[in-house]
Amino acid sequence: MRILLIEDDKAIGGAVRDHSVADSHAVDWAETLASAHDHAKTTTYGLVLLDLYLPDGDGIAYLRRMRKQGDKTPVIILTARDQISDRIGGLNAGADDYLVKPFNLGELSARIHAVGRRYGNSPDPTLIFGTLDISPAERRIERNGKAIELTAREWSVLDSLLNRTGSIVSKAQIEDTLYAFGAEIESNAVEVYVSRLRKKLGAEHIVTIRGVGYRFATT
């Protein structure tokens, strides 16, 4: 998933970014609302992690503006505001979840996956495709009952395909989940990771649509 992290605290932002990247997400980190706005103009995100106290404004106002403009990108608020009234206000403004600082990074991962399932095409925690049992939230795969290990970037590619199961996903869309801004994109990276996934999951599950992209086959 491509995530926009809006957080001005360097310690928290760095920890969330590093943990999310290790969890196979691509993260663009904005420390101001102005920077977040610039990112959002050029990139489509699967999720926004939003702090409320920011140097150039209030996160709630930013969220309300998103929703007023018809932006339905899922938003999880990360804030020190812990009053019930604050949580109600955040959810009423259009947030999908609300996590109070300090929080456990493992819990953040679980909430990110939960929101992803809610908005993706794969609402069930465990997906079954022939001999494959896949649990995206638990980062667990079994093939014929045997556990399969994937790297973080292999999970990124697989998530891109699973979130659009049955539909064609372009190479550019997959690259968008692999690399955050400023990262160097290797020309054949997608082909390399798709090849690795085919070896681990079975070549029949990932179909190449020449000149267009890839599709995860359910049968």
pLDDT of 121 reads 46
Q: Which residue has the higher pLDDT, 149 or 44?
A: 149
Mean pLDDT throughout 177-201? 81
- Helices (H), ranges, the chain: 10-22, 33-42, 59-68, 84-92, 105-119, 152-162, 171-178, 189-201
Mean pLDDT throughout 35-57? 92
pLDDT of 189 reads 87
Mean pLDDT throughout 65-92? 91
- The alpha carbons of the chain give a radius of gyration, in whole angstroms, of 18
pLDDT tens across 110-156, in order?
A: 899 888 777 654 445 678 888 899 887 678 899 998 999 998 888 88
DSSP state of 137: T
Mean pLDDT throughout 70-93? 91
pLDDT of 123 reads 44
Residue 13 structure tokens? 């932002």
pLDDT of 198 reads 95
Residue 187 has pLDDT above 80, yes or no: no
How far apart are the C-alpha atoms of 162 and 122, rounded to whole Å?
Answer: 7
